[in-house]
Amino acid sequence: MSEVHAVEKGTANLPCDISLPEPHNPTDDVILVLWYREDLGRPIYSLDARDRAFEQAERWNDENVFGNRAYFRSSAQPAILAIENVLEADAAVYRCRVDFRVAQTRNAKVNLTVIGKMKLHIVYL
């Protein structure tokens, strides 16, 4: 499991290896990327290229989890799910699932730790 730390209100970049497994079949492609939040147990973000080129993949996200704060960057190395304006409530274990046309499905977990603002407590004696 990889670890990612992000400062509250900053950006978290959750990695996801979408590279084709070696040796790869020349007819293979990524057809589906699903992101899960482990405590929810259901997909929260997806890229669906089952009937189109990956560059034109249909994107979906669960509005109740990230709203419009998350986007997938497949051009990054590795690809990332970027979460902007990170909230303390975003801290969780996430799982990236990559389905290929030919190769076996790949799963990888990422633990996101959110570093909140330090709170100063003054004690008067």
Taking only the tens place, the pLDDT of each residue in 8-29 is 999 999 999 999 988 878 889 9
Tell whether the torsion through CA atoms of 72, 32, 2 and 22 is positive or negative. negative
Taking the model in full, what pTM does it have?
0.89
| Assigned domain for 121 exists | no
Is the pLDDT reported for residue 124 higher than 90?
no
What CATH number should be reported for the domain holding residue 71?
Answer: 2.60.40.10
Is the pLDDT reported for residue 52 higher than 60?
yes
**What pLDDT shows up at residue 118?**
63
Q: In the chain, how many domains are there?
A: 1
Q: How far apart are CA 120 and CA 71, in angstroms?
A: 34
Residue-wise pLDDT for 82-108, tens only, equals 999 999 999 999 999 999 999 999 999
